[in-house]
Amino acid sequence: MDPVSISSALQSFSAQWQPRRLATVNDHDVKIARISGEFVWHSHPDSDELFLVVDGHLSIDLRDDGTDSVVDLGPDEIFVVPAGVRHRPRAEAGTIIVMVEKVGTVNTGDAGGDRTSELRELGG
């Protein structure tokens, strides 16, 4: 049981939109990712998803009950997308985020497709 350094974790990978597991807390994974550009519209029917911006800027497009909105986050800000809400993260180049979601949650949720990434461990 050693502390995990976010700085060291970030040095272990450069791939975009391919989260790495930092830790597991009860039945939730704490993940870190480098992101840039737009992701896919998706939802996670059985899991809320917490986003914490470490560096950069993240916009999350939301679509819930026919209403569209956008949440903008900067460093040290968090937002929770409730289970079942369609969302699409968008980020400027160099954005780093931490996410918390149930173990086994797929990054593309119900959308699937070629952006689906198997969760990797640090160093992988």
| Tens-place pLDDT, residues 40-71 | 999 999 999 999 999 999 999 999 888 999 99
Return the ∠ at Cα 75 (arms to 29 and 58), rounded to 5°.
Answer: 75
Q: Which residues pair with 97 in a beta bridge?
A: 33, 53
Mean pLDDT for 116-120 is 86
Pairing of the two strands 49-55 and 78-81: antiparallel
Query: Could you tell me the two tokens for 1?
Result: 């049981």
Task: Give the model's pLDDT for residue 41.
Answer: 96
Give CATH superfamily name and number for 6-105. Jelly Rolls (2.60.120.10)
- Per DSSP bridges, beta strands 67-73 and 28-38 are unpaired
Q: Give the pair of three-digit tokens for residue 47.
A: 């899991």
